[in-house]
Chains A and B, each alone.
Chain A
Amino acid sequence: MRKPVLKNYIDFLKKKKLRASSIVEVIVALAICMILFAISMSVIVNSQRSNNIRLKQKAQFILSTIDANTLKQDSNLENGSLRLEATIQKNDTIAGVSRITYSIFDNAGHRIGMKVIWLAIDKLSHSETEISKN
């Protein structure tokens, strides 16, 4: 009479000698994996924090929308996660023109984008009036 398959399998398991690792080896292996995982997570989080790629890209996009015709004043952007600062510097060495430095800062106060444009003073004063009207 033929033995049932399940019984055959149990017999096989009883006879088989598996080459397994000891419990110490498994614990060491798990520990190494966990340490590596922890390090990699920490590196990834730090890298994301330091690079702020998304915010930098957003900052770059915001700066690209600013030109001589669309001047902006200081404002909070992206639900407060970014802050735009405009500094007007009337230059003495080059008469008739002014330098505007636009900087974008993140929540931690790091500058993540900057743009410098030069404008004729008459155009600048007109734009300043327009800004104050708005």
Chain B
Amino acid sequence: MLLMINKLFRQKVKGGALQYTILFSLLILMSLSLFLMFVRLSSLEVYSSQKQSQLVENINSAIVILENQSQLFEKQQLSLQLLEDTTYGTNIEISEWGFYDKVKIVSWKGMLQLSKMYLFADNIKTNKQIPSLYLSGARQYLSVGGKTYLGNNTFLPGYGIRKSYINGIGYSRDSLVQGKSFKADKTLPKLNGKWAERYSKLKNRIDVSSSRPNMKELKKDSINVSFKDETLILQYPDNYSLNDKYLNGNIIITGTKIRIANTSHIHQCIVLADTIIVEKQFKGDVQLLAEDYIEIGESSTLKAPSVLYLNNSDKNDQILVKSQTKFQGEIIIPHLNLDRKEILVIEDGCKMIGQIYCNGFASFDGILFGSFYATGFMERSRSGLYENYLVDVCIDSKRLPDEYFGISLINKSNAKACTEELH
């Protein structure tokens, strides 16, 4: 030990006190600057976090404003000043996605920017007069049999409603209408012209781009296109069957006759063709727009927001929804067809949520939580064909779920709702 101390003292100490002072001063300055840097960085981090949090809030606020100001949807681009601090800004871009609106909201402050996309629909529940059933016609009855349930507001044809007796089944409820009843007009209320216009626009867009089929894309089994990118138009050959395909997002599928197998998954896409056949047990959410014929196979599930739109021009055009199908969305057949032939057939056991507009005769054998507009009903039974008979069906707009948002079929929408975030 002593030897060590000895050795230490024998060493020559170079430099005086000032040199040591400079050394220590440098060390102190370095520590100080490191500390200050740490404090500054932490402060910047907190500030950045506050900015990001405010950007998220701005996007949520923009959604609230859009939901309450449906007239803003008339513009394609707008900018909102949500804060007094003018360094914050929010820009909104609105474009059509079939029968819905896709909205891109960009919130920014300086170089920091946050962008999100949402799908907007009409908040149809704000219309208190939303009917359960609207059956037009002046000189006819609506005949109800079995356990038919007509809830909320029912618009009946000129002669009103009466009990019926078909195939040994009478009407088993006390009241014919479980809510208020009104007299319907001779014809259906006119469908909001916006929907036909949107269909035409979409069709024109496809026609313009049809000269550029992308064969490389057609061969892919899985395609996922972000709504932030350009829409992918997949033009399939005639009579094409979509088997084992995963199509998701910003895609328009088109062709003359398209068959969708239940091994395919289609999410948020639009299908536009002359004939669309969906095989049984298919699951997905898709807007199906056709010229001639749409068929939904048995036990299929089409979740909201789905649309079946038939641009019927021929008397044989039809939408057929086969038994046990679950459907959430809108079914629209806009053009008047007074032939005594069903242009819409919804088979037994179908559970629907949404709205149906059928400007002609329909055959309905299921449950609908929503609204049904029809010119007439056809009931086929063993004993014959009955006009304007409803047996064992349920139509009730009161049971339309609060979280359901669709499209405003008749009037201009006065409230919008954000249905989902798009990726």
Chain A residues near B (Cβ < 8 Å): 5-6, 9, 12-13, 16, 18-21, 25-26, 28-29, 32-33, 36-37, 40, 43-44, 47-48, 51, 53, 56-57, 60, 63-64, 67-68, 94-97, 99, 113-120
B35–A116 touching, CB < 8 Å = no
Which residues of the other chain, A, contact B54 by a CB distance below 8 angstroms? 114-116
B contact residues, total (Cβ < 8 Å): 42
Residues B9 and A113 in contact, CB atoms below 8 Å apart: no
B2 touches A9 (CB 8 A): yes
A-side contacts of B231, CB under 8 Å? none
A94 touches B69 (CB 8 A): yes
Known contacts A19-B14, A29-B20, A48-B39, then 9 further A-B pairs from the complex at CB < 8 Å, ordered by chain A residue: A5-B2, A44-B32, A47-B36, A53-B46, A96-B69, A114-B50, A117-B61, A118-B60, A118-B65
Residues of B contacting A29 in the complex (Cβ-Cβ under 8 angstroms): 17-18, 20-21
Stretch at the interface among B22-30, B136-144, B219-227, B295-303: B22-30
Cα distance, A116 to B62, chains bound together (Å): 12
Closest to B14 in A: A19
Known contacts: A96-B69, A97-B65, A116-B57. The answer to whether A36 contacts B17 by CB under 8 A is no
> Which of B17, B28, B31, B69 has most chain A Cβ within 10 Å?
B17
A56 to B64: give the CA distance in the assembly, Å: 28
A28 near B18: Cβ-Cβ < 8 Å: yes
Pairs A–B under 8 Å by Cβ, sample size 30: A6-B2, A9-B6, A19-B12, A21-B16, A21-B18, A28-B21, A29-B18, A29-B21, A33-B25, A33-B28, A40-B29, A40-B31, A43-B36, A44-B35, A47-B36, A48-B39, A56-B43, A56-B46, A60-B46, A60-B49, A94-B68, A95-B69, A97-B64, A114-B54, A116-B54, A116-B58, A116-B61, A116-B82, A117-B60, A118-B62
Give per-residue flags for B211-230: 1 if the beta carbon is below 8 A from chain A beta carbons, else 0. 00000000000000000000
Q: Does B53 contact A (CB under 8 A)?
A: yes
